[in-house]
Amino acid sequence: MAVLGQNAYHTETVKIAVKRRPHVNYFLTEEQTMIRDLAAQIAREKIAPRAAELDESGEFPWDVVETMGKSDLYRVFIPSEYEGLGGGCFEMCLAVEELSKACGGIALCYAASALGTIPIILFGSDEQKRKYLPRLASAEIIAAFGLTEPNAGSDAAGIKTTARADGDYYVINGTKQWITNGGEASIYTVIALTDPTRGVRGSSAILVEKGTPGFEFGKKENKMGIRASATRELIFQDCRVPKSNLLGKEGMGFLVAMRTLDQSRPGVAAQAVGIAQGALDKAIEYSRERQQFGKTISSFQGVQFLLADMATQVEAARALTYAAARAIDGGEKDVSRMSAMAKVFASDTAMKVTTDAVQVFGGYGYMKEYPVEKMMRDAKITQIYEGTNQIQREVIALNLIKESVRGAARAASGGNGSATAKK
């Protein structure tokens, strides 16, 4: 992996700026340590001071995106031949985790661009990559990913948006709902039916640029949490897009979506770990200051045990998230299960730990003057988007059963694994 470029935000000071390290050694390379520390510094200096204000206003944090862009943070998961730093899912997770400690919403502006960029990295032609990746790497533009529709959430196969072929163009009609970075992003991967008669097998992934006639945005959603991120409808009415914008081949839309989500879910897990760690840090700090019965509340065993459980859960979530990201970057074939496990465990942890953080703060934790109620609101979405945790548990179970069936077939065939082929 290449090193962070000349533009890196305060590159000189980054190496020494962050004293706090996780207690567990995750064997980060020097470059990975720099990425983590750089993201931590941006989180501390640029995000934390604005988190509460942007949570209230819901304004999109373009100034922070610009800082992250100038600091090369958007390059970390983009291949070096397209002006990235050549890292992968793991480097993206390190950045998302640190940003999320300060604000899950602002971190999502970064993570959702990664979600929109992954299909181009995985399925784009060299021409498509040359056209978009360098600009995404510098954050001159950001990306988004549009799969969900009003009547197709968990049941993504139920999408109705169509992309009818017309000469050298597709004509797109339909509505995508709750698209993160919607309206702010310049490039969208849209999953649409190029052959509605074939259902999900007739779906395709098509790149659509903002500003294309017939492509409009709905109102910005007013959300419970992650309020600094933008969530909007994508509305297509006879939107003509050149066929050269197709990612992969026609009929591969669902595959593009599922492979993309497999690779991006550790990013949601990292967001959850970051939010949970941020809440834990605040809870520890507060417990050392707040006095009741003439003592700091950190001296009470009831509070100590709460903090101990919170810290243990966060570390376990981090370990699983890093393992999933490393499995993806290591080129493991079947990553759906690991990716889903990381997302489920980390997001459930974030919900629990942020709720417990509010408990440690007592009544003050329930007030907007203190940061933990926002963290609890921000954590909730990680159990819902990129596939709800119910659906992720289904993915995990189906993979377990499939692996068990394969194992049984291998055993029956004397261990050479070719039982099906023999039949």
Ligand X SMILES: Cc1cc2nc3c(=O)[nH]c(=O)nc-3n(C[C@H](O)[C@H](O)[C@H](O)COP(=O)(O)OP(=O)(O)OC[C@H]3O[C@@H](n4cnc5c(N)ncnc54)[C@H](O)[C@@H]3O)c2cc1C
Binding residues for ligand X (CB under 6 A): 112, 145-148, 153-154, 178-180, 223, 231, 381, 384-388, 390-391, 394
Considering the complex, state which of residue 4 and residue 381 has its C-beta at the smaller distance from ligand X.
381
- Please give the distance of CA 63 from its chain centroid, rounded to a whole number: 20
How many other CB atoms are there within 10 angstroms of residue 330's CB atom?
11
Between 170 and 178, name the residue whose CB sits nearer to ligand X. 178
Q: C-beta of 60: minimal distance to ligand X in Å?
A: 14
Report d(CA 91, CA 225) in Å as an integer: 25
| CB 108, min distance to ligand X, A | 8
Closer to ligand X by CB, 146 or 174: give it: 146
Catalytic residue among 216, 386, 394, 403: 386
CA-CA distance, 398 to 393, in Å (whole number)? 8
The least distance separating ligand X from the CB of residue 273, rounded to whole angstroms, comes to 19
Residue 386 annotated in active site: yes
Answer for the pair 372, 383: CB distance below 8 angstroms, yes or no.
Answer: no
Of 161 and 231, nearer to ligand X (C-beta) is 231
Minimal distance in Å, beta carbon 258 to ligand X?
A: 12
Rg value, the chain, Cα: 22
| Residue number with CB closer to ligand X (194 or 392) | 392
Ramachandran area for residue 294 (φ above 0: left; ψ -120 to 50: alpha; else beta): left
Q: Which residue is nearest to ligand X (CB)?
A: 153
- Minimum distance, C-beta of residue 397 to ligand X, in the bound complex (Å): 11
* Residues designated as active site: 386
